[in-house]
Structure 1
Amino acid sequence: MEHVLVVDDEKPMRELLKFYLLRNGYRISEAADGKEALAILRSDEFDLLLVDWMMPDMDGRELCKQVRISNQVPIMMLTARNQLKDKIEGFESGADDYLTKPFEEAELIVRIKALIRRARSSPAARRQMIQYKGLALNAESHEVHYEGHPVHLTAHEFALLRFMLSHPGQALTRDQMIENVWGFDFDGDDRTVDSHIRNLRGKLREAGADDLIKTMWGVGYKLL
């Protein structure tokens, strides 16, 4: 069952959207403003965000920009603004689709289905963004965030984390890490892997991600 986060400061609109979505088989969470939405996104995963443009403190455009720092979840902007410049502004902030109010239930559901289908069928999206237990790795921008906080990694630390994120829960040997991160022509030894893991652990810990990497004695390391 697809999970949708509805973000709107007006309760009647949230109730209307929930009514439409629930009877079409979606699971719903809701937020009354952008800040609440960001907090919810740190602890749960969604298939789509429905975001109102006009909200106090943090409007829909700013929320889109904040989400796009570490998350590529499809976003549909809902607004009464129908000028071309407004639509362009919405798309430039990170929205994937734009629906003007008032709207019909049928169009809303069709657009939601299309957005989710497109996101799931995009191999590029699957390759470029990896999310795991609060971690978000963007291969295209070469950025890592933990619950929205940036984690600054070297090229090899980034490649090492990306390899481990591709094999969560799997014990990886040092030889596997060397082959996939440094390559066949690597002329160092196992201590290089250990030192990079140590540095990676330290940086993740500083960002708040404790104990994600477990040492497997006699084998290598595992992402918990």
Structure 2
Amino acid sequence: MAPTILVVDDAAEIRTLLRTYLEAEGMDVHEAGSGEEAIRLTADLSPDVVLLDLGLPDLSGLDVLGRVRATSSVYVIVVTARAEEVDKLVSLSLGADDYIVKPFSPREVVARVHAVLRRPRLDSVAADDTLRFAGLTISPSSREISLEDRAVTLSALDFDLLLALARKPGRVFSRAQLLEQVWGYAFYGDERVVDVHIRTIRAALGDDGSRYVGTVRGVGYRFIGTPADRT
């Protein structure tokens, strides 16, 4: 089936431009010109990807992102004229999967959409694919996480990032390696985007965050949870 894309922007000409390029790639495209409409259509359509502008006429795009992320793990790519680093970092911390600054190349947007649709770019595993560690279980097939019998909710990208680390316990990944494996395309922005998502994962895991995801200074990150069969 064709992937469903929701384009959210108050500028009709931008919606039309993106729709033209995305439909040329065989995608099913829907449009929203306001935040409230975007929230409603996300619930009604369950799209695969939302392209979200931050400068909407009724709600802040960040408010829309927060409300969407509270109920859905849909991939969200922010497409906005706001180039300030703080806007990017806040968007990513709220669960955005990517961030594109206007003016943009429509072909780049299409490439980014294809990239998130290819996730997770992780090796397939056996039918019983649950990863079990001391106090923590991660199920790739159901995309569920349990910490001491408490459900942990992560965005799609944060889940993929944690899973990439957890599948190789003890291995140190550089930021560039994580960008290549999880983001799934050549990333030309600041590698610190990885740091933002690591902080989000640790926050979701609460006091146990640093117990499972360790920092290797000057290099990157590694998963340090103890496999359940060693407890």
Q: TM-score, normalised by structure 2?
A: 0.53
- 8 Å contact 2:21–2:107 — kept in the other structure? no
Tell me if the contact between 1:119 and 1:125 (Cα under 8 Å) persists in the aligned partners.
no
Residues paired across the two proteins, number: 134
Q: Take 2:80 and 2:141, find their aligned partners in 1: how far apart are those partners? A: 26
Aligned partners of 2:3 and 2:22: how far apart in 1?
Answer: 10
- SS of 1:42's equivalent in the other structure is helix
Aligned-pair CA distance for 1:4: 0.2
In structure 1, stretches of 5+ residues that fail to align are: 130-137, 143-224
> Does the aligned pair in 1 maintain the 2:17–2:106 contact within 8 Å?
no
Q: Specify the alignment match of 1:82 in structure 2.
A: 83
Distance, in Å, in 2 between the alignment partners of 1:120 and 1:58 is 34
Query: Can you list the C-alpha shifts for 1:72-130, whole angstroms capped at 9, x where unaligned?
Result: 0000001112122221111122211000111112211111111111158696484229x
Greater relative CO (CA pairs within 8 A, separation 6+): 2
Aligned to 2:152: 140
Note the alpha carbon deviations across 1:129-155, whole angstroms, 9 max, x for none. Answer: 9xxxxxxxx94249xxxxxxxxxxxxx
1:35–1:58: structure 2 CA closer, same or farther, 3 Å change rule? same
Do residues 46 (structure 1) and 47 (structure 2) align? Answer: yes
TM-score, scaled relative to structure 1: 0.55
Rounded Cα–Cα distance in structure 2 between residues aligned with 1:107 and 1:128: 31
- Distance change >3 Å, CA 48–CA 13, structure 1 → 2: same
Q: Secondary structure at the match of 2:118?
A: helix
- Which letter maps to 2:61? G
Identity %: 34
Post-superposition CA distance 1:149-204 (Å, at most 9, x none): xxxxxxxxxxxxxxxxxxxxxxxxxxxxxxxxxxxxxxxxxxxxxxxxxxxxxxxx
Moved >4 Å (runs of 4+): 119-123
Please give the alpha-carbon distance, in whole angstroms, between the structure 1 residues aligned to 2:73 and 2:141: 8
1:176-215 matched pairs, under 5 angstroms: none
Higher alpha-carbon Rg = 1
SS of 1:118's equivalent in the other structure is coil
2:48 corresponds to which letter in structure 1?
D
Match of 1:102 in 2: 103
Give the letter for the 1:40 counterpart. L
- How far, CA to CA, are the matches of 1:68 and 1:125 in structure 2? 20
Q: Residue 144 of structure 2 corresponds to which residue in structure 1?
A: 128
Q: Aligned pair in 2 of structure 1 residues 121, 49: CA closer, same or farther (>3 Å)? A: farther
Instruction: Say which SS state the counterpart of residue 99 (structure 1) adopts.
Output: strand
Q: Distance in 2 between matches of 1:57 and 1:119?
A: 34
CA distance in 2, matches of 1:29, 1:120: 26
* Structure 2: gaps spanning 5 or more residues: 124-138, 155-231
User: Cα gap change, 1:88/1:2 in structure 2, threshold over 3 Å: closer, same or farther?
Assistant: same
The corresponding residue for 1:29 is: 30
Match of 1:18 in 2: 19
Matched residue type, 2:152: E
Partner SS for 1:75:
strand
